[in-house]
């Protein structure tokens, strides 16, 4: 998996402030705005360097208003981590269950997982790189969601090896390598870059299939 450092990962220079539909279900609106403000502050400055005043200011609220909805700064991080992990797990599970052979399923899973981490790169940076800042109980809950992602991917690799589509000597090591490859997109992706999230997903899907020496088709990729 990606490093759990808790160090700040700055947004790309000139990148505009963005909303994230992952949090659309959060109510009331003030609680949602605080989460969005926290996402941007944590992504820019890191959890420990961010103040509650900074988060509240980004949400257009007073510092005192924050505590109406969240008891601590850590609770904000937990809610962000929970929503982000749940969304990414759902994306991966849906892609893995899309049908077809194991090569098709693996390619679709990687493509969708990478695309999510690119499209939601600011949230994903916080979700993936601030894990160590969580309290023990919240940490264990989030680690459980992370394990679910690994289990989905590992299941595809095991199935592909059993069917002869893949040549994978180390399932666990390969699972971690593929997960890290996908997740790390959030660290460097910029909307100003040359490739779209879908193009990056297609590229990574091809790379992963080559990694496992797939003998099956990956399905059509978008034109460059």
| Whole-structure pTM value | 0.81
Residue-wise pLDDT for 128-167, tens only, equals 889 999 999 999 999 999 999 999 999 999 999 999 999 9
How far apart (Å, rounded) are the C-alpha atoms in residues 157 and 168?
8
The SS3 assignment for 200 reads helix
CB atoms within 10 A of CB 45: 15
Among all chains, which residue has been given the structure tokens 């034109």?
223
8 A C-beta contact, residue 166 and residue 107:
no
Is the pLDDT reported for residue 198 higher than 50? Answer: yes
Write out the two tokens for 223: 């034109």
- Distance of alpha carbon 183 from its chain centroid, rounded? 6
Residue-wise pLDDT for 84-139, tens only, equals 999 999 999 999 998 889 999 999 999 999 999 999 999 999 998 899 999 999 99
Write out the CATH class of domain 72-211: mainly alpha
8 A C-beta contact, residue 176 and residue 201:
no
**What is the residue extent of each domain of the chain?**
72-211
Nearest one of 24, 206, 33, 44 to 125, comparing CA atoms = 44
DSSP string over 155-196: HHHHHHHHHTS---S-HHHHHHHHHHHHHTHHHH--TTSSS-
8 A C-beta contact, residue 35 and residue 96:
no
Residue-wise pLDDT for 5-57, tens only, equals 333 333 333 333 346 677 877 878 899 999 999 999 999 999 999 999 999 99
């Amino acid at each position: 998996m990606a490093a759990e450092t808790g160090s700040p990962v700055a947004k790309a220079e000139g990148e505009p402030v963005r909303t994230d539909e992952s949090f659309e279900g959060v109510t009331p609106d003030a609680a949602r705005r605080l989460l969005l403000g926290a996402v941007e502050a944590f992504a820019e400055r890191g959890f420990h360097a961010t103040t509650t005043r900074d988060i509240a200011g980004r949400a257009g609220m007073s510092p005192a208003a924050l505590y109406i909805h969240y008891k601590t700064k850590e609770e904000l991080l937990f809610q962000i981590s929970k929503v982000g992990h749940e969304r990414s797990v759902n994306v991966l599970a849906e892609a893995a269950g899309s049908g077809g052979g194991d090569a098709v399923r693996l390619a679709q899973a990687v493509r969708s997982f990478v695309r999510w981490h690119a499209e939601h790169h600011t949230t994903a940076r916080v979700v993936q790189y601030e894990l160590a800042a969580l309290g023990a109980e919240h940490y264990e809950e989030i680690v459980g969601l992370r394990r679910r992602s690994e289990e989905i991917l590992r299941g595809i690799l095991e199935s592909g090896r059993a069917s002869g589509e893949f040549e994978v000597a180390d399932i666990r090591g390969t699972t971690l390598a593929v997960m890290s490859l996908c997740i790390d997109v959030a660290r460097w992706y910029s909307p100003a870059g040359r490739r779209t999230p879908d193009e990056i997903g297609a590229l990574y899907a091809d790379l992963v299939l080559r990694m496992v020496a797939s003998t099956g088709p990956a399905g059509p990729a978008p034109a460059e």
